[in-house]
Structure 1
């Protein structure tokens, strides 16, 4: 099942307020891990957490539409969300909880640094200088290849 991105944003923000940069990276890791854990093959990535396109911006993976939603906040924190939450299935809640448990303690800057060391962002930025504006899409296949390695290492 594909969820609305706003529902995932609200779920993440219901845990704690965070900066727009951190929210972008949390969305990226939630999407990437869901993609990896809910699909069996690289060439059949049909199960997605939400429909969105991540771009390889200077400061890491970004969904342009989400950037526009919070751009006026700049570096200020988005307040914690306290409204009603969408119902997610058990597998989705499990992925979201794991992602929050692993990445939620990091700052946006730390998550940016982590994403810059990973193949999906690096591949999308090929041919660009570190501070060049880049709107190249981060490929789902690259995300799957990156994170499936962690799953295989656990077995």
Structure 2
């Protein structure tokens, strides 16, 4: 199975320019969400948490922590060959739709959607939380759209 790093590198290749880490986190999130709906399978195993600025994959965050922008060179150990053609097609569609949006726009969008809202229940606004956004909640919500 591909890793979140393989997905991140592929997104960066598709974007063909440095991307803010906040935007990358949201594009990875939406890639996972739509893979669950369209392909009926997750893209990667790493879990996603509902942080104050939207969904974050802690394993990915740990690698880019302290950086504002990243590009393909940043994920040297990632291998996009681990992605199937179907997975690449899903990511391409996500990047085509969401890739032109700003990081803040994407963050704001996630704040209106059920998976993030449910995972944030009981956590005050602006406070970092580590509640997991489950694959089931993502599949159910995005599958209903």
Tell whether the structures are fold-level matches, with TM greater than 0.5.
yes
> Is 2:115 aligned against 1:102?
no
Partners of 1:35 and 1:139 in 2: CA distance: 11
**Distance change (3 Å), C-alpha of 1:7 and 1:131:** same
Q: Does the CA-based 8 Å contact 1:13-1:81 persist in structure 2? A: no
Tell me which structure has the larger Cα radius of gyration: 1
Aligned equivalent of 2:51: 57
Mapped contact 2:14–2:92 kept (Cα < 8 A): no
Offset of 1:87 from its aligned partner?
5.0
Q: SS state of the match for residue 55, structure 1?
A: strand
Q: SS state of the match for residue 47, structure 2?
A: coil
For residue 69 of structure 1, give the secondary structure of its aligned residue in structure 2. Answer: helix
- Report SS of the residue matched to 2:50: strand
Counterpart of 1:68 in structure 2 is 62
Comparing 118-127 with 63-72, greater Cα deviation is found at 63-72
Structure whose residues are more often strand by fraction: 2
Q: Which runs of 4+ in 1 moved over 4 A?
A: 80-84
Unmatched tracts of structure 1, length 5 or more: 40-46, 151-155
Equivalenced residues, count: 140
The TM-score normalised by the length of structure 2 is 0.88
Q: Which runs of 5+ in 2 are unaligned?
A: none
In the TM superposition, 1:1-155 aligns within 5 A as 2-16=1-15, 17-39=18-40, 47-73=41-67, 76-81=68-73, 85-86=80-81, 88-150=83-145
